Amino acid sequence: MKKIVSLILARGGSKGIPNKNIIDLKGKPLISFAIHASNKSQIQETWVSTDSQKIKTIAQNLGAYVIDRPTELAQDTSPSEDAILHFCNSIDFDILVFIQPTSPLLTNKDLNQGIDLLLNHQANFDSIFSVYKEHWIPRWNLNIKPIDWNPKERPRRQDIKENYVENGAFYISFKKNILKSKLRYSGNIGCIEMPLYRSFQIDTYDDLKLIKKLL
């Protein structure tokens, strides 16, 4: 039987919103939503990687295990992959579910769908990540130039193919693949679609206000 664990990266520093990972959201710390979704899923162990004693205490009180993240891996410029590899080299498991605490509308059902798809031998995926489906909308760059479309020949939305957009809620992969590729996803990649209204992430105070209305 494969050992499935989750990892939530939650460093103490945050420029956009101070202490973002534990900011109050409907009377609960933000990170509690990710921990709760993980604990209710088929994931066997929920882990939090942090450099903050306050986050560590909150995570443990919510039933998560904690791995202390080295200071050099908890800087503004530190790639998430470095902290993921630190975890992979420290903890025994077979499958990693990397959950971002900034996606509080993620559910245990989303996580279970992703895990089931990865374990489906007929699908034969090496990694899974969450997405939402985007209909075409006219996009402009900051110089007010259309991006990949011509205003003189404005297409109809229904005539343009839809795209998947990575929503950043979760990524699932086999440990052996992470260690080999040093990436959160690699090989034959599949996805789990989440609705747009549950794909919002909290990066700004405006995001926080929006999600408070959705909860």
Of residues 162 and 64, more confidence is placed in 64
Beta bridge partners of 5: 45, 96
Instruction: List the Cα angle 22/128/212 in 5-degree steps.
Output: 30
- pLDDT number for residue 159: 79
- pLDDT exceeds 90 at position 198: yes
- pLDDT number for residue 179: 97
Q: Tell me how far apart the alpha carbons of residues 112 and 3 are, in angstroms, rounded to a whole number.
A: 14
CA dihedral 41, 106, 63, 14 (to 10 degrees): 150
Both tokens of residue 5? 């664990």
CATH 3.90.550.10 is the classification of domain 4-130+166-214: yes
Q: Report pLDDT digits (tens) over 151-191.
A: 988 888 887 888 999 999 999 999 999 999 999 999 999 99
Write down the pTM of the prediction: 0.91
Q: Which of 188, 201, 145, 166 is nearest to 25 (CA)?
A: 201
Q: Long-range pairs for 71-78 at CB < 8 Å and ≥24 separation?
A: 74/11, 74/12, 74/13, 74/50, 75/13, 76/13, 76/15, 78/11
- pLDDT number for residue 64: 98
Question: What percentage of the chain has pLDDT greater than the value 70?
Answer: 100
- pLDDT exceeds 80 at position 14: no
- pLDDT number for residue 1: 83
Instruction: Tell me which amino acid residue 21 is.
Output: N
Q: Report pLDDT digits (tens) over 110-131.
A: 999 999 999 998 899 999 999 9
Both tokens of residue 83? 């902290």
- pLDDT number for residue 208: 92
- pLDDT exceeds 80 at position 48: yes
Query: What does the domain layout of the chain look like in residue ranges?
Result: 4-130+166-214
Positions annotated as catalytic residues are 154
Q: What's the mean pLDDT in 81-92?
A: 96
Q: Report pLDDT digits (tens) over 127-148.
A: 999 999 998 889 999 999 999 8
Q: Which of 215, 27, 204 is nearest to 102 (CA)?
A: 204
- pLDDT exceeds 90 at position 16: no
Reported as a pLDDT band with limits 50, 70 and 90, residue 68 is very high
CA dihedral 118, 93, 72, 111 (to 10 degrees): 40
Reported as a pLDDT band with limits 50, 70 and 90, residue 74 is confident
- pLDDT number for residue 77: 81
Residue 64 belongs to what H/E stretch? none
DSSP 175: H
How far is CA 165 from each of CA 67, 175, 195, 209, rounded to the nearest angstrom? 31, 24, 11, 22
Max Cα distance, the chain (Å): 59
- pLDDT exceeds 90 at position 73: no
How far is CA 29 from each of CA 37, 43, 47, 54, 55, rounded to the nearest angstrom? 14, 21, 16, 11, 9
- pLDDT number for residue 12: 86
> How many CB atoms neighbour CB 179 within 10 A?
12
